[in-house]
Amino acid sequence: MKSVRFNRFGGPEVLEIEDVPEPHPGPGRIRIAVRAAGVNPIDWKKRQGLMGGKPPQSLGQDAAGVVDEVGVGVVDVAVGDRVFGLSAGSTAQSERAVLSFYAPIPPSLDFVDAAALPTAIETAARALDETGVEKGTVVLVNGASGGVGSSTVQLAVARGARVIGIASPANHDYLRKLQAEPVAYGEGLVERVRAIAPEGVDVALDLAGSGVVPELLELAGGTQRVLTIADYGAAQKYGVTFSDGHDGRAVHVLGEIGELIETGRFALPVARTFPLTDVAEAHRTSEQGHVRGKLVLLVG
């Protein structure tokens, strides 16, 4: 089968489409014929050698497709079902992929829309779970208009939280549509947030790694009330929570997101699609940042 691989660390030019053996699912896992696969920043960070390990390596966490093989003990899906989920071993950008966590694709979504979901919604739900966001919580989201950010905003709103979203002015109308109150990046951030939340915020989430952890601490008032997924150095320096999923993943959201989507309370736009053979261009686009929504590879 065809699979995205790299045999040395480097820029997008090191990516290759290679023939590799088809995987088979172990107990409790399933294999899908991949129709679409999501692209995430972790893909190009891995390609650059920032995530450890040695080449050769495969890529891709998010996939959507049709079940074509099930492991021992699987009873919740059957061959032929449409599913989306997280790839075991990060091999989603392939013609076949084994999924470790999965759920049925919501009826209103196609494969492309479904492939955009897994990492974004799992990261968002994990950030909200770890900081205890619930009804009445005032939560500040840095990087609110990206894939993870917009997912976080919508899931927080669905929980009944008040959300203040930090984003560039060009994305403020988008955030208002998601029921967040937008504020701009840059000098004066603390004052802008305090202008609409004079008492500060209950929780602050850094999803962008743009060096604002000190300001988030000032607004939230304590290290246990600030979480970052993108600035490990700041987490170490200031003692705030760094979440990377190693202490548990919020995979429950895969099964919960369908109801929110079907009732119009959640949507994650796909900014652009690429054929699998253009994976290098997808990486370049992701590395440039400022993508509203997700990038998706068309596989099958």
Closest CA to 166 of 135, 137, 199, 201: 201
Which of 70-74, 201-205, 246-250 shows the lowest per-residue confidence on average (mean pLDDT)?
246-250
State how beta strands 138-142 and 162-166 pair. Answer: parallel
Tell how strand 57-58 and strand 181-183 pair up.
unpaired
**CATH of region 124-242:** 3.40.50.720
**pLDDT one-digit tens code per residue, 90-145:** 899 999 999 999 999 999 999 999 999 999 999 999 999 999 999 999 999 999 98
The pTM assigned to this predicted structure is 0.94
Kindly list the domain boundaries of the chain, sorted by start residue: 2-117+268-298, 124-242
Tell me what the pLDDT averaged over the chain comes to.
Answer: 94
What whole-number distance in Å separates Cα of residue 154 and Cα of residue 149? 9
Give the domain 2-117+268-298 fold: Quinone Oxidoreductase; Chain A, domain 1 (3.90.180)
**Type of residue found at 37:** A
